[in-house]
Amino acid sequence: MRSPFPLPNAMPRHSHGWITSGLLNVVDGYPTLCCKAYNGRLLVIFLDRCIHALAARVDGDPEIYNACVAVRSLTSWFDLLERAGRYLCDQERVTLYSLHGKYVRALEMLAIIALKTDVSRWKLQPKLHPFVHINEDHLWFAYNARHYHCYVDEDAMGLFKNLAQKCHRGNLLEFRIMCRFLLRLASWVPGTG
Protein backbone atom coordinates (compact mmCIF):
# COMPACT_ATOMS: atom_id res chain seq x y z
CA MET A 1 0.00 0.00 0.00
CA ARG A 2 1.34 3.42 -0.95
CA SER A 3 1.87 5.91 1.89
CA PRO A 4 -0.33 9.04 1.70
CA PHE A 5 2.70 11.05 2.86
CA PRO A 6 5.58 11.59 0.42
CA LEU A 7 9.06 10.62 1.48
CA PRO A 8 11.23 13.48 2.80
CA ASN A 9 13.50 13.45 -0.28
CA ALA A 10 10.43 13.81 -2.53
CA MET A 11 9.13 16.88 -0.70
CA PRO A 12 9.66 20.23 -2.38
CA ARG A 13 12.32 22.39 -0.76
CA HIS A 14 11.65 25.91 0.37
CA SER A 15 13.23 28.54 2.59
CA HIS A 16 11.33 27.51 5.71
CA GLY A 17 12.76 24.69 7.78
CA TRP A 18 10.68 22.04 9.48
CA ILE A 19 8.18 23.36 12.01
CA THR A 20 9.40 21.97 15.31
CA SER A 21 8.37 22.52 18.91
CA GLY A 22 11.53 24.61 19.31
CA LEU A 23 10.05 27.37 17.12
CA LEU A 24 7.49 28.12 19.84
CA ASN A 25 9.32 28.95 23.03
CA VAL A 26 8.15 30.29 26.37
CA VAL A 27 10.25 33.25 27.52
CA ASP A 28 9.42 34.96 30.83
CA GLY A 29 6.10 33.11 30.88
CA TYR A 30 4.97 34.28 27.42
CA PRO A 31 4.82 32.26 24.20
CA THR A 32 7.37 33.51 21.70
CA LEU A 33 8.06 32.50 18.10
CA CYS A 34 11.75 31.66 17.75
CA CYS A 35 12.16 32.09 14.04
CA LYS A 36 13.30 34.83 11.73
CA ALA A 37 10.72 37.30 10.46
CA TYR A 38 11.00 36.02 6.89
CA ASN A 39 9.95 32.53 7.99
CA GLY A 40 7.67 33.81 10.74
CA ARG A 41 5.31 35.24 8.14
CA LEU A 42 4.77 31.67 6.91
CA LEU A 43 4.41 30.21 10.39
CA VAL A 44 1.71 32.79 11.18
CA ILE A 45 -0.46 31.20 8.46
CA PHE A 46 -0.22 27.87 10.30
CA LEU A 47 -1.04 29.54 13.63
CA ASP A 48 -4.02 31.26 12.01
CA ARG A 49 -5.43 27.88 11.02
CA CYS A 50 -4.82 26.49 14.51
CA ILE A 51 -6.49 29.35 16.41
CA HIS A 52 -9.49 29.34 14.07
CA ALA A 53 -9.88 25.57 14.55
CA LEU A 54 -9.89 26.20 18.31
CA ALA A 55 -12.43 29.02 17.90
CA ALA A 56 -14.77 26.65 16.04
CA ARG A 57 -14.83 24.39 19.13
CA VAL A 58 -15.02 27.12 21.81
CA ASP A 59 -17.87 29.55 21.28
CA GLY A 60 -17.94 33.08 22.68
CA ASP A 61 -14.56 33.26 24.44
CA PRO A 62 -13.35 36.88 24.06
CA GLU A 63 -9.70 35.88 24.40
CA ILE A 64 -9.88 33.38 21.55
CA TYR A 65 -11.93 35.82 19.47
CA ASN A 66 -9.30 38.57 19.84
CA ALA A 67 -6.47 36.11 19.17
CA CYS A 68 -8.28 35.11 15.95
CA VAL A 69 -8.63 38.75 14.91
CA ALA A 70 -4.97 39.47 15.69
CA VAL A 71 -3.59 36.49 13.79
CA ARG A 72 -5.94 36.87 10.81
CA SER A 73 -5.11 40.60 10.57
CA LEU A 74 -1.39 39.87 10.60
CA THR A 75 -1.74 37.05 8.07
CA SER A 76 -3.78 39.28 5.76
CA TRP A 77 -1.25 42.10 6.20
CA PHE A 78 1.64 39.85 5.15
CA ASP A 79 -0.38 38.49 2.23
CA LEU A 80 -1.21 41.95 0.88
CA LEU A 81 2.36 43.11 1.43
CA GLU A 82 3.66 40.20 -0.67
CA ARG A 83 1.11 40.65 -3.46
CA ALA A 84 1.43 44.44 -3.78
CA GLY A 85 3.93 46.05 -6.09
CA ARG A 86 6.75 48.42 -5.18
CA TYR A 87 4.40 51.41 -5.11
CA LEU A 88 1.10 50.96 -3.31
CA CYS A 89 -2.18 52.12 -4.80
CA ASP A 90 -4.57 54.04 -2.55
CA GLN A 91 -6.62 50.96 -1.71
CA GLU A 92 -3.52 48.88 -0.81
CA ARG A 93 -2.00 51.48 1.47
CA VAL A 94 -5.30 52.14 3.28
CA THR A 95 -5.97 48.40 3.62
CA LEU A 96 -2.47 47.75 5.03
CA TYR A 97 -2.96 50.55 7.53
CA SER A 98 -6.41 49.24 8.46
CA LEU A 99 -5.10 45.69 9.00
CA HIS A 100 -2.30 47.10 11.15
CA GLY A 101 -4.91 48.93 13.26
CA LYS A 102 -7.02 45.79 13.75
CA TYR A 103 -3.91 43.85 14.79
CA VAL A 104 -2.82 46.47 17.34
CA ARG A 105 -6.34 46.84 18.80
CA ALA A 106 -6.69 43.06 19.14
CA LEU A 107 -3.36 42.87 20.97
CA GLU A 108 -4.48 45.67 23.28
CA MET A 109 -7.69 43.76 24.03
CA LEU A 110 -5.68 40.61 24.76
CA ALA A 111 -3.54 42.60 27.21
CA ILE A 112 -6.67 43.95 28.94
CA ILE A 113 -8.13 40.44 29.17
CA ALA A 114 -4.84 39.23 30.66
CA LEU A 115 -5.03 41.95 33.32
CA LYS A 116 -8.68 41.27 34.17
CA THR A 117 -8.29 37.50 34.41
CA ASP A 118 -4.82 37.66 36.01
CA VAL A 119 -3.52 35.20 33.41
CA SER A 120 -0.20 36.21 31.89
CA ARG A 121 -0.72 34.73 28.45
CA TRP A 122 -0.12 37.95 26.48
CA LYS A 123 2.52 40.64 26.90
CA LEU A 124 1.01 43.83 28.22
CA GLN A 125 3.40 45.98 26.19
CA PRO A 126 4.23 44.21 22.94
CA LYS A 127 6.98 45.85 20.90
CA LEU A 128 4.93 47.32 18.08
CA HIS A 129 6.77 50.60 17.59
CA PRO A 130 8.57 49.60 14.33
CA PHE A 131 5.38 47.98 13.00
CA VAL A 132 3.44 51.21 13.58
CA HIS A 133 6.08 53.25 11.74
CA ILE A 134 6.18 50.86 8.78
CA ASN A 135 2.41 51.22 8.40
CA GLU A 136 2.51 54.98 8.75
CA ASP A 137 5.09 54.99 5.95
CA HIS A 138 2.78 52.83 3.84
CA LEU A 139 -0.04 55.29 4.37
CA TRP A 140 1.97 58.48 3.85
CA PHE A 141 4.52 57.48 1.18
CA ALA A 142 2.80 54.54 -0.58
CA TYR A 143 6.07 52.60 -0.80
CA ASN A 144 5.93 48.86 -0.05
CA ALA A 145 8.12 47.81 2.90
CA ARG A 146 8.77 44.50 1.14
CA HIS A 147 11.19 46.36 -1.12
CA TYR A 148 13.39 47.61 1.69
CA HIS A 149 12.96 45.22 4.62
CA CYS A 150 15.89 43.04 5.65
CA TYR A 151 14.23 39.63 6.17
CA VAL A 152 16.52 37.84 3.71
CA ASP A 153 19.56 39.53 5.24
CA GLU A 154 18.42 38.31 8.68
CA ASP A 155 18.33 34.76 7.35
CA ALA A 156 21.83 35.15 5.88
CA MET A 157 23.12 36.39 9.24
CA GLY A 158 21.51 33.40 10.94
CA LEU A 159 23.18 31.05 8.45
CA PHE A 160 26.62 32.57 9.04
CA LYS A 161 26.08 32.49 12.81
CA ASN A 162 25.32 28.75 12.64
CA LEU A 163 28.38 28.17 10.48
CA ALA A 164 30.56 30.13 12.92
CA GLN A 165 29.28 28.08 15.86
CA LYS A 166 30.25 24.85 14.08
CA CYS A 167 33.79 25.96 13.20
CA HIS A 168 36.87 25.56 15.37
CA ARG A 169 37.98 28.77 17.03
CA GLY A 170 41.31 30.26 16.12
CA ASN A 171 42.91 32.76 13.83
CA LEU A 172 41.43 31.09 10.72
CA LEU A 173 37.78 31.37 11.80
CA GLU A 174 36.73 33.63 8.92
CA PHE A 175 38.48 31.39 6.39
CA ARG A 176 36.79 28.27 7.81
CA ILE A 177 33.34 29.94 7.75
CA MET A 178 33.79 30.92 4.09
CA CYS A 179 34.97 27.41 3.18
CA ARG A 180 31.89 25.86 4.79
CA PHE A 181 29.68 28.40 3.03
CA LEU A 182 31.31 27.68 -0.35
CA LEU A 183 30.83 23.94 0.23
CA ARG A 184 27.13 24.58 0.80
CA LEU A 185 26.93 26.60 -2.41
CA ALA A 186 28.79 23.92 -4.36
CA SER A 187 26.36 21.22 -3.19
CA TRP A 188 23.24 23.33 -3.81
CA VAL A 189 21.14 22.24 -6.76
CA PRO A 190 19.30 25.19 -8.41
CA GLY A 191 15.54 24.95 -8.14
CA THR A 192 15.57 22.84 -4.96
CA GLY A 193 15.56 25.56 -2.33
Indicate if 32 and 43 belong to the same structural domain: yes
Task: Evaluate if residue 141 carries a pLDDT over 90.
Answer: yes
Indicate if 160 and 145 belong to the same structural domain: no
Indicate if 47 and 116 belong to the same structural domain: yes
pLDDT at 164: 84
Residue 193 located in a structural domain: no
Residue 138 located in a structural domain: yes
Q: Which domain holds residue 22?
A: 18-149
Give the number of other CB atoms < 10 A from CB of residue 144: 22
89/127: higher pLDDT = 89
Indicate if 24 and 115 belong to the same structural domain: yes
Residue 5 located in a structural domain: no
Residue 167 located in a structural domain: yes
Indicate if 171 and 126 belong to the same structural domain: no
If one counts the domains in the chain, the total is: 2
Task: Evaluate if residue 59 carries a pLDDT over 90.
Answer: no
pTM of the model: 0.68
Average pLDDT over residues 83-90: 93
pLDDT-derived band at 142, boundaries 50, 70, 90: very high
Residue 1 located in a structural domain: no
Average pLDDT over residues 34-39: 70
Compute the Cα dihedral for 84, 87, 89, 94 and give only its sign.
Answer: positive
H or E element, residue 26: strand 24-27
Indicate if 79 and 109 belong to the same structural domain: yes
57-66 as b/e: b if 16+ CB within 10 A: eeeeeebbbb
Residue 56 located in a structural domain: yes
Indicate if 140 and 181 belong to the same structural domain: no
pLDDT at 12: 46
Indicate if 112 and 24 belong to the same structural domain: yes
